[in-house]
Structure 1
Amino acid sequence: MVEVLDRKRSATKFRVLVEIADRQPAVNQTEIADAVGVTSQAVSEYIRELVEEGYVDKEARSRYRVTKQGVDWLFQQAADVRRFADHVTEDVLGSMQEDAAIAAAPVAEGEAVSLSVEEGLLHATPGTTGPATGVATTAAEAGDVVGVTGFEGVIEMEAGDVTVFQVPPVRTGVTPASDRLAAAAERAGLVATAGVEAVVVCRESGVDVDVQFAAGAVAADAAGRGVDVVVVTTTDAAGRVTDALRDAGLAYEVDDL
């Protein structure tokens, strides 16, 4: 179970710390009490506990600041809550909703199908031989879209490999074409860039770019669906890319061009 959801007190402490982080350094305990739905006295007790745990520093009367330890704890709890929410929406509720797939062969409405992911897209094949199955809600010819519901089982899928190539910003010089980048892009299913410098080095290296915006989020989504990804990013934007990959629980390699 997620720590902050185990007990009401843990959840309330989490919410109080979020409110402090949002309002720091001038913290009005009455406002926090109204936002969280507890008494001002309870907020005072939570703040005292947070100070004792090292999550909050008291700078002066009614002036508090979240410590690095407190920020790290917030990030960890928020990540756990997000994973739990993803489990609920995708694993629990996912079997109750209708989704779209590509028919691998002609499918009749009401027919049982096996499900798989190919090139990041859900495919449905007539029959129940796969580890994950569903029921077609529409009829479709091979290659057409088909509705699927009644999901059962788990689709066996490994995350794709992600390689992040860093290029320096223009103020430090222009990066020449790279055979190493070209070879990696040739093996990848998707190439994403962050920054004009990254777009240009891809062009000079003969690499076709699939995505030029939100590279980190796109790379995380694609790799999570089993697609191998190359991301070319300036060093200035690299942190945003790797943060998105870490938040998604994905491994990646970083290489400098």
Structure 2
Amino acid sequence: MSARRLRDLKRNTELLILVELLKNPSVRMKDLGDRLGITVQAVSQYLAAMRKEGLVRLHGEALRPTKRGMQIAQEHFTLIKDYVDSILRSTSVIDRCVAIAGAAVEKGQRVGLAMEDGMLMAYPGRRSPSVGTAMESAPEGDDVLVGQLEGIVDLELGKLLLVEVPSAADGGSKKARLSLVKDKIDEASPGILVAGDLAGAALLSKATEESFTIHAPIESAMSALSKGVDVVFCGGRDSVDDMLEAVEALKRQTGYEIQWRSLKS
């Protein structure tokens, strides 16, 4: 929808005219045309359509934006800004990064980059879709700054298992099918367990002896998934829905799709 707004020349021009009128109600049509790169005739036609739609009104001899016009402009440009911001985030250019040395690295040595268990690794001399140059020497296992990056890290997103806890009205974690949850967690063999809320934390405490995180659960789960780490996310209906929304948002913004399945405990 925001892409369509960006390409809607007529609406964008109308609202740019409205902004110019807000800044200078007595501006002449010729000046408006010069600022927007359109003819005086075109300005006149736009203004006529805007008056008919109720975006501007005549105040004395000057046209003024209406409250409705300003509300529409604010919503329109806010949505465009959000869309452009998402494009800038997804196309940002990174020319250096920090990785873990998979073997001893010498400064100036070319390294291949790969994601392993959620960590970016740098291996000297390795052929990889993404390569760079070590900006410093580092022993195996140490962090190393890598610059002159080329290519894209070959990354497979993690898989997500959503475990929905029964609602409080239905008994919460006390009514969960504990043996089934245990089996499914073992089967998923996740790299990280995440509790979306207190009910999720209670169920994970009963279902596994592994540690889990409950702080910033959505962000923690998405960070792990984006690095190729499998995740089990456990919580009530609202928390599970929030997690799914984050997964869908990633798909809308970047095209990357996380494989997920759900379990009602």
Once superposed, what is the RMSD of the aligned Cα atoms? 4.0
Query: Are 2:261 and 1:256 aligned?
Result: no
Give the 3 Å change call, closer, same or farther, for CA 75–132 of structure 1 in structure 2.
Answer: same
Matches within 5 A, 1:37-48: 45=50, 48=53
Q: Which residue of 2 aligns with 1:148?
A: 146
- Cα displacement string for residues 83-125 of structure 1 (whole angstroms, at most 9, x for unaligned residues): 4222322xxx21x2x2110000000111100000011111000
Q: 1:117 aligns with which of 103, 106, 115?
A: 115
Matches within 5 A, 1:43-122: 45=50, 48=53, 62=67, 80-89=83-92, 93-94=93-94, 96=95, 98-122=96-120
Counterpart-to-counterpart distance in 2, 1:209 and 1:5: 46
Give 5+ residue unaligned stretches, structure 2.
33-45, 56-65, 252-256
Q: Which residue of 2 aligns with 1:204?
A: 206
Give TM-score scaled by structure 1 length. 0.70
Counterpart-to-counterpart distance in 1, 2:20 and 2:149: 45
Q: Could you tell me whether the CA contact under 8 Å between 1:169 and 1:236 is conserved in 2?
A: no
Q: Which residue of 2 aligns with 1:180?
A: 180
Q: Could you tell me whether the CA contact under 8 Å between 1:177 and 1:202 is conserved in 2?
A: no
Query: Percent same amino acid among aligned pairs?
Result: 21
Give 5+ residue unaligned stretches, structure 1.
17-28, 51-60
Query: Are 2:233 and 1:231 aligned?
Result: yes
Q: Which residue of 2 aligns with 1:243?
A: 245
Counterpart-to-counterpart distance in 2, 1:14 and 1:192: 45
Q: Could you tell me whether the CA contact under 8 Å between 1:113 and 1:127 is conserved in 2?
A: yes
Q: Could you tell me whether the CA contact under 8 Å between 2:106 and 2:138 is conserved in 1?
A: yes
Q: 1:192 aligns with which of 188, 191, 194?
A: 194
Counterpart-to-counterpart distance in 1, 2:52 and 2:209: 54
Question: Following TM superposition, by how much is the alpha carbon of 1:227 offset from its aligned partner in structure 2, in angstroms?
Answer: 1.1
Counterpart-to-counterpart distance in 2, 1:226 and 1:104: 18
Q: Could you tell me whether the CA contact under 8 Å between 1:184 and 1:230 is conserved in 2?
A: no
Corresponding residue pairs, total: 220
Q: Which residue of 1 aligns with 2:125?
A: 127
Counterpart-to-counterpart distance in 2, 1:88 and 1:185: 36
Question: Following TM superposition, by how much is the alpha carbon of 1:225 offset from its aligned partner in structure 2, in angstroms?
Answer: 1.4
Counterpart-to-counterpart distance in 2, 1:231 and 1:244: 12
Query: Are 2:218 and 1:216 aligned?
Result: yes
Q: Does the residue aligned with 1:102 lie in a helix, a strand or coil?
A: strand
- Cα displacement string for residues 37-71 of structure 1 (whole angstroms, at most 9, x for unaligned residues): x98x87x8399499xxxxxxxxxx8458x99xxx9
Give the 3 Å change call, closer, same or farther, for CA 49–118 of structure 1 in structure 2.
Answer: farther
Structure 2 counterpart of 1:178, which letter? L
Question: Following TM superposition, by how much is the alpha carbon of 1:10 offset from its aligned partner in structure 2, in angstroms?
Answer: 6.5
Question: Following TM superposition, by how much is the alpha carbon of 1:221 offset from its aligned partner in structure 2, in angstroms?
Answer: 2.0
Give TM-score scaled by structure 2 length. 0.68
Question: Following TM superposition, by how much is the alpha carbon of 1:182 offset from its aligned partner in structure 2, in angstroms?
Answer: 2.4
Q: Which residue of 2 aligns with 1:23?
A: none
Counterpart-to-counterpart distance in 1, 2:101 and 2:110: 12
Give the 3 Å change call, closer, same or farther, for CA 194–99 of structure 1 in structure 2.
Answer: same
Counterpart-to-counterpart distance in 2, 1:197 and 1:47: 55
Structure 2 counterpart of 1:125, which letter? Y
Structure 1 or 2, whichever has the larger Rg, is 2
Give the 3 Å change call, closer, same or farther, for CA 152–194 of structure 1 in structure 2.
Answer: same
Q: Which residue of 1 aligns with 2:63?
A: none
Counterpart-to-counterpart distance in 2, 1:209 and 1:46: 63
